[in-house]
């Protein structure tokens, strides 16, 4: 971490004393300036908001309070109560993990690919395990309707073990649904252009998808056979209990993936101090090597994938090493047709051609190794894009081929 020089601090103070405070969590002047601008806009908005006005004593006072909170290391997203996940603003609260930009980039890419698929089932069911704020299903459908032209009925289910997460996910769902319904109503009175019609179709599809979105409190890690009176319920009985369909098409998960050692050494202080550990580190077990502890969710996720018969999976991982370990699990299970690794920004061209293959797995995009994507049956079709130059290369990464 770069040290804050006195020169830098003096420079910040000459601009605005509040900036000096923000330098502590931000470390550089330009991100401190951005944060100050966002916080200021937020404070002004709070002052103008009729619902909060009574509690607010002028935005300047409020701003100072917000900056002070931020200076103590509290993540900006908790201070402001939201984070952008792709283009969607998602509500955030302490106790639930803040959605990450890298996750949004992978989900955007996945939804874009599916929305360009030539054939999709008339009802497409997407399961998101370890959903947190619910950001993944919400962004998936938003992004999907951006390009998808035909009729398809999207069904989404987000699952989490934490009840505050489920509450927040439901809140996000309700808020977005209301917003869309309101936009739809307002639009009806205006224009008739092609864009308007297209916009209306997208909004209607989104509303329908939101109405088919649910969040479920359940534990994905426990084996339903070994535990009987576990609270919350294991996934399978919880799904049965709430009449959810037994079979799904796509499985997405950003599970806790940080090993206990990595948690202590590589996570940022504000992550350790403010975000829930249960969202980051799998439950610890004695006598298990550290690395294995970090990987704990993936075998279980692959088992569930088989049980609910999905044809396409995307799992977020910590880095390229973990990606390769998970890709190996996929290969060894021999129930998949293919697997590849996506970096942080999978839609960007690889920086080096020789970077495309690691341990026999194809790696695409730029940034850190971020997700493992595997498919079988029609999942391969759903993933491919029109005039995909990589399609023959992808075949080469097929297992056993």
Partner 1 sequence: MRGAPWICRPCLIRALRPLSRRHARFQSNAAANPESISPALLSRAHALAAEHSQLAQKLANGFDARAAKKLGEISAVANALKEWEKANESLTELRTLIRDPSTDDELRSLASDDVASSAEQLDQAAQALTTSLVPKHPFASLPCLIEIRPGAGGSEAAIFAGDLLRMYQAYCSRIGLRTALLKYENADGLPESDSPLSEAVLEIESEGAYGTFRCEAGVHRVQRVPATETKGRTHTSAASVLVLPSFPSEGSGEMEDFDNPESDYYIDPKEVRTDIMRARGAGGQHVNTTDSAVRLTHLPTNTVVSIQDSRSQPKNREKAWQLLRSRIAQARREKREEEMVAMRRSVVGVAKMGRGDKVRTYNWGQQRVTDHRSGLTVHDLTDVMGGGHTLEKVMESVRTWLIERDIEAVIAGDEINGDK
Ligand X SMILES: C[S@@+](CC[C@H](N)C(=O)[O-])C[C@H]1O[C@@H](n2cnc3c(N)ncnc32)[C@H](O)[C@@H]1O
Instruction: Provide the binding-site residues for partner 1, judged by CB under 8 A.
Output: 15-16, 19, 26, 29-38, 40-41, 75-77, 83-84, 86-87, 89, 97-98, 100-105, 108, 146-147, 194-195, 198, 254, 256-258, 262, 266-268, 270-271, 275, 279-280, 316-319, 344-345, 348-349, 367-368, 370
- Binder to ligand X among 82, 103, 115, 259 (CB under 6 A)? 103
Answer yes or no whether residue 278 interacts with ligand X by CB under 6 A. yes
Please report how the helices 135-147 and 101-115 are oriented relative to each other, as an axis angle in degrees rounded to 10.
Answer: 40
Torsion angle of the four alpha carbons 350, 355, 359, 361, in this order, in degrees rounded to the nearest 10: 20
The interface with ligand X within residues 135-174 (CB under 6 A) comprises 135-136, 159-162, 165
Query: What is the separation of C-alpha 340 from the centre of its chain, rounded to a whole number of angstroms?
Result: 19
- The residue number with the shortest CB distance to ligand X is 132
- Indicate which of ligand X, partner 1, none lies near residue 161 (CB less than 5 to 8 Å, by partner kind): ligand X
CB atoms within 10 A of CB 22: 23
- Indicate which of ligand X, partner 1, none lies near residue 220 (CB less than 5 to 8 Å, by partner kind): ligand X
Token representation of residue 189: 């009175």
Query: What is the separation of C-alpha 145 from the centre of its chain, rounded to a whole number of angstroms?
Result: 18
- Indicate which of ligand X, partner 1, none lies near residue 304 (CB less than 5 to 8 Å, by partner kind): none
Tell me how far apart the terminal alpha carbons of the chain are, to the nearest angstrom: 45
Part in contact with ligand X (CB under 6 A); list of ranges 5-13, 213-221, 337-345, 368-376:
213-221
- Indicate which of partner 1, ligand X, none lies near residue 162 (CB less than 5 to 8 Å, by partner kind): ligand X
C-alpha–C-alpha distance, residues 221 and 217, integer Å = 13
Looking only at the bridges linking them, the beta strands covering 366-375 and 338-345 are antiparallel
Q: Which is nearer to ligand X, 115 or 254 (CB)?
A: 254
C-alpha–C-alpha distance, residues 284 and 357, integer Å = 33
Q: Which is nearer to partner 1, 290 or 332 (CB)?
A: 290
How many residues touch ligand X (CB under 6 A)?
Answer: 22
Please report how the helices 194-211 and 163-188 are oriented relative to each other, as an axis angle in degrees rounded to 10.
Answer: 150
Calculate the alpha carbon distances from 214 to 107, 157, 159, 285, 376 in Å. 18, 5, 9, 32, 26
Binding residues for ligand X, rule: CB under 6 A, are: 97, 99, 103, 130-133, 135-136, 159-162, 165, 219-221, 254-256, 278-279
């Amino acid at each position: 971490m770069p040290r804050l020089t006195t020169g830098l601090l003096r420079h910040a103070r000459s601009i605005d004393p509040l900036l000096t405070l923000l330098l502590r969590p931000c470390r550089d002047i330009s991100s401190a300036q951005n944060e100050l601008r966002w916080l200021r806009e937020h404070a002004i908005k709070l002052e103008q908001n009729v619902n909060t006005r009574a509690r607010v004593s002028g935005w300047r006072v409020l701003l100072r309070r917000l900056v002070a909170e931020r200076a103590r290391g509290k993540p900006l997203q908790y201070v402001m109560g939201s984070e952008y996940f792709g283009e969607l603003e998602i509500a955030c609260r302490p106790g639930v993990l803040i959605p990450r930009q890298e996750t949004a980039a992978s989900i955007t890419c996945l939804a874009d690919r599916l929305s360009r698929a030539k054939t999709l089932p008339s009802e497409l069911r997407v399961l998101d395990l370890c959903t947190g704020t619910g950001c993944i299903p919400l962004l998936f459908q938003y992004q999907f309707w951006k390009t998808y032209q035909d009729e398809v009925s999207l069904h989404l289910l987000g699952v989490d073990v934490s009840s505050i997460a489920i509450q927040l996910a439901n809140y996000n769902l309700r808020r977005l649904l209301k917003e869309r319904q309101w936009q739809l109503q307002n639009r009806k009175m205006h224009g008739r252009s092609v864009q308007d019609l297209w916009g209306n179709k997208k909004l209607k599809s989104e509303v329908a998808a939101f109405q088919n979105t649910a969040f479920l409190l359940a534990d994905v890690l426990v084996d339903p056979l070994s535990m009987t009176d576990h609270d919350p319920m294991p996934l399978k009985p919880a799904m049965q209990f709430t009449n959810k369909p037994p079979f799904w098409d796509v499985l997405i998960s950003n599970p806790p993936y940080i090993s206990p050692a990595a948690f202590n050494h590589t996570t940022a202080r504000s992550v350790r101090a403010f975000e829930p550990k249960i969202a980051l580190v799998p439950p610890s077990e004695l006598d298990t090597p550290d690395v294995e502890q970090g990987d704990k969710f993936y075998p279980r996720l692959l088992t569930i994938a088989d049980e609910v018969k999905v044809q396409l999976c995307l799992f977020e991982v910590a880095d390229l090493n973990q990606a390769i370990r998970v890709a190996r699990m996929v290969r060894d299970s021999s129930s998949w047709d293919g697997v590849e690794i996506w970096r942080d920004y999978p839609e960007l061209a690889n920086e080096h051609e020789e970077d495309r293959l690691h341990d026999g797995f194809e790696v695409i995009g730029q940034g850190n190794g971020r997700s493992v994507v595997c498919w079988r049956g029609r999942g391969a079709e759903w993933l491919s894009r029109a005039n995909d130059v990589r399609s023959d290369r992808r075949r080469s990464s097929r297992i056993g081929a």
